[in-house]
């Protein structure tokens, strides 16, 4: 049981093993993008670009530094690997298990700090203990996002008993 207040609703997102860290970061940005109050300015000359290209340009603006490297000091969020390591019960005191992603011993989450080209498959192969890979979005203080959409989602209500337009069910 969790003492944490449950936030919003679950959604299934599929991240393929063949994806690179970059593809994963792009997809996660695409998923949270509707929560942002304002979009990054990608320049006025870019009117007739497709969604995929727009996504890339916005991502670059927010998450890449001037050298084209992933910028951990970006203003939106940190992507973290949720720390679900088992505790080592065999010792006198509960010892923190060494994190198999970064090799350090730490209690909190691990930064998703992989190079762009590393595949999800090779990240999964780092895991010594059998468990799921869980990712967490840690919003930066002051990130301009509307988290109320998650707390109180506005669902569209439909009446399943209503007659359909195709005349399926008659009253």
Q: How many amino acids of this chain bind Zn ion (CB under 5 A)?
A: 4
Residues 75-134 that bind Zn ion (CB under 5 A): 99, 101-102, 110
Minimum Å gap between C-beta 133 and Zn ion is 13
Distance CA 83, CA 97 (A): 10
Distance CA 143, CA 43 (A): 21
Minimum Å gap between C-beta 103 and Zn ion is 7
Distance CA 38, CA 36 (A): 6
Residue closer to Zn ion (CB basis): 99 or 120: 99
Minimum Å gap between C-beta 19 and Zn ion is 21
Minimum Å gap between C-beta 110 and Zn ion is 3
Residue closer to Zn ion (CB basis): 69 or 105: 105
Residues 8-47 that bind Zn ion (CB under 5 A): none
Q: Note whether 21 and 116 are within 8 A (CB).
A: yes
Minimum Å gap between C-beta 42 and Zn ion is 33
User: φ and ψ at 157, to 5 degrees?
Assistant: -95, 135
Residue closer to Zn ion (CB basis): 74 or 83: 83
Q: Note whether 143 and 77 are within 8 A (CB).
A: yes
Residue closer to Zn ion (CB basis): 115 or 149: 115
Helix 21-32 crosses helix 51-63 at what angle (to 10 degrees)? 100
Closest listed residue to residue 153, CA positions, set 27, 37, 10 = 10
Residue closer to Zn ion (CB basis): 59 or 101: 101
* Alpha helices (runs of H) in the chain, residue ranges in sequence order: 21-32, 51-63, 120-124, 148-151
Question: Which residues are at the interface with Zn ion (CB under 5 A)?
Answer: 99, 101-102, 110
């Amino acid at each position: 049981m969790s003492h944490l207040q449950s936030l919003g609703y679950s959604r299934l997102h599929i991240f393929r093993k063949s994806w690179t860290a970059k593809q994963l970061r792009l997809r996660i940005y695409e998923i949270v993008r509707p929560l942002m109050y304002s979009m990054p300015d990608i320049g006025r000359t870019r009117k007739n670009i497709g969604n995929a290209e727009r996504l890339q340009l916005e991502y670059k603006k927010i998450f890449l530094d001037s050298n084209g490297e992933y910028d951990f000091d970006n203003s939106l969020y940190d992507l973290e690997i949720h720390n679900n390591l088992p505790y080592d019960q065999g010792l006198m005191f509960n010892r923190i298990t060494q994190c198999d992603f970064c090799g350090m011993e730490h209690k909190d989450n691990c930064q998703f700090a992989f190079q762009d080209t590393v595949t999800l498959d090779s990240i999964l192969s780092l895991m010594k203990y059998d468990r799921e890979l869980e990712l967490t979005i840690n919003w930066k203080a002051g990130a301009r996002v509307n988290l109320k959409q998650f707390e109180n989602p506005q669902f569209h209500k439909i009446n399943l008993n209503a007659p359909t337009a195709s005349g399926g069910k008659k009253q």
